[in-house]
Amino acid sequence: MTEYITLSRFIIEEQRKHPEATGEFSSLFTDIATASKIVYREVNRAGIAEILGGTGSVNVFGEEVQKLDEFALKTFIGVLSRGGYLAGMASEETASVIKIPDDVPKGKYLFAFDPLDGSSNIDVNVSVGTIFGIWKKKDGDGDATEEDFMQPGSEMVAAGYVIYGSSAMLVYTTGQGVHGFTLDPSVGEFILSHHDIKIPEKGKIYSANEGYYNRWSEAIRKFVEYIKEEDKGTGRPYSARYIGSLVSDFHRNLLKGGIFFYPADAKHPKGKLRLLYEAAPLSFIIEQAGGAATDGRRRILDIVPESLHHRTPLVIGSKRDVETFGEFMEKYGG
Ligand code: AHM
Ligand code: MG
């Protein structure tokens, strides 16, 4: 019989290796899975929901049609904030720390997330996703403050994303490799489908918004010119693939190899993507898969956030490709 390993079972077995584990972490993950199944259902209904009533309006059933990113935010808060394992949450959609309700015991974990990344693509049927990072509150019990979240990615205890595509898939790491689970809609469970994912050391894909070419520094332009050159020996030119939905671009490159970069440019001097709930979680995953992530020079996981919505340039993917990017930064002073 084929092995049918559910996410919950996999996590429980992983936690057994840590005798100090209290079960809080497993509950947190079970709830992440539940929240993402609810979001997936809603994302799937997006097209028809629009026909039945445009966003911001009331549909034929008299229900208010919510924007999907708002729905995802509320769903994750609703499910996770009552679990008793969190001290606080932070999200792309909220200015400050999301407080755990007063009547719920405070746990030790901090949860930072982008509820629905790439949501501007939903109306054209492009895959979107939820990205999350989990840290431990360093000192004291009780409610988390913004200060508690100012920890580098290297302190993360887990990170993951859920991609809502032709199927829903949850990919995560706790520092013991990267594992992917595909939702089996017939039983409503995430099933282990990609065990111990490794990214090829060198890829053949580059992903960037090349429309910004003229806003980029010389180093980045030279790098792009380089990967477009014809050279069989080093596998060039690379193929360009850019969806504009980070989870989708990242997921493809993780499985196939390649490099994604969203550098600083004339309009985004600090880059566009956010450290806490986009760059750091994906960097933890990529390193666990054998890849690398930098801001062009520094390792992303070493950067200490200065605010909840700290932005950073992001260069992420196959190790050798990220190194080559760094060499161009070094050479041309990008
Ligand atoms: P968002 O969090 O507002 O959705 O923005 C993040 C998205 C990423 O999914 C994607 O990688 C990037 O923005 C695309 O930006 P651009 O349109 O500038 O290429
Ligand atoms: Mg985002």
Instruction: Give the separation between CA 275 and CA 309, rounded to whole angstroms.
Output: 7
Same domain as 88, residue 35: yes
| Residue ranges lining ligand 1, Cβ < 6 Å | 92, 114, 117-120, 209, 244-246, 272
Given a cut of 60, whether residue 137 has pLDDT beyond it is yes
- Ligand 1 midpoint to CA 76 (Å): 21
Mean per-residue pLDDT of the chain: 93
Of 200, 207, 43, the C-alpha closest to 127 is 43
The pLDDT of residue 124? 83
- Residue 200 domain-assigned? no
CATH code, domain with 301: 3.40.190.80
Instruction: Give the separation between CA 137 and CA 114, rounded to whole angstroms.
Output: 19
Domain boundary among 130, 160, 194: 194
Ligand nearest to the CA of residue 249, numbered in listed order:
1
24-50 pLDDT, tens digit per residue, is: 999 999 999 999 999 999 988 876 665
Query: Contact, 170 vs 180, CB < 8 A?
Result: yes
- Ligand 2 midpoint to CA 294 (Å): 18
Pairing of strands 292-294, 178-184: unpaired
Same domain as 175, residue 220: no
The protein residue with its alpha carbon nearest to ligand 1, atom 14, reads 244
Given a cut of 90, whether residue 333 has pLDDT beyond it is no
The protein residue with its alpha carbon nearest to ligand 1, atom 17, reads 244
Q: Please give the tally of structural domains in the chain.
A: 2
Same domain as 36, residue 140: yes
Determine the residue of 245, 253, 265, 270 to mutate for testing ligand 1's pocket, defined as the one with the most ligand atoms within 8 A of the Cβ atom.
Answer: 245
The pLDDT of residue 53? 47
The pLDDT of residue 148? 98
- Ligand 1 midpoint to CA 14 (Å): 33
Average pLDDT in the 202-213 region?
A: 97
Alpha carbon dihedral 165, 166, 172, 177, in 10-degree steps, equals: -130
- Ligand 1 midpoint to CA 245 (Å): 6
Whether a cis peptide bond, with omega within 30° of 0, leads into 237 is yes
The fraction of the chain above a pLDDT of 90, given in percent, is 82
Average pLDDT in the 263-282 region?
A: 96
- Ligand 1 midpoint to CA 118 (Å): 6
Same domain as 187, residue 121: yes
Collapsed DSSP state (helix, strand, coil) of residue 274 = strand
176 or 3, greater pLDDT: 176
Domain boundary among 194, 229, 255: 194
Same domain as 188, residue 44: yes
Helix (H) or strand (E) run with residue 13 in it: helix 7-16
The fraction of the chain above a pLDDT of 70, given in percent, is 93
Average pLDDT in the 128-143 region?
A: 94
244-255 pLDDT, tens digit per residue, is: 999 999 999 999
Find the domain containing 66 and state its range. 7-194
The pLDDT of residue 66? 65
Average pLDDT in the 185-208 region?
A: 97
Could you identify the atom of ligand 1 that is nearest to the CA of residue 245? Answer: 9
Same domain as 231, residue 133: no
Could you identify the atom of ligand 1 that is nearest to the CA of residue 247? Answer: 9
- Residue 106 domain-assigned? yes
The protein residue with its alpha carbon nearest to ligand 1, atom 7, reads 118
The pLDDT of residue 139? 83
200 or 123, greater pLDDT: 200
Collapsed DSSP state (helix, strand, coil) of residue 160 = strand
The pLDDT of residue 123? 76
- How far from the centroid of its chain's Cα atoms is residue 11's Cα? 19
DSSP class per residue in 198-223:
---SS-SEEE--GGGGGGS-HHHHHH
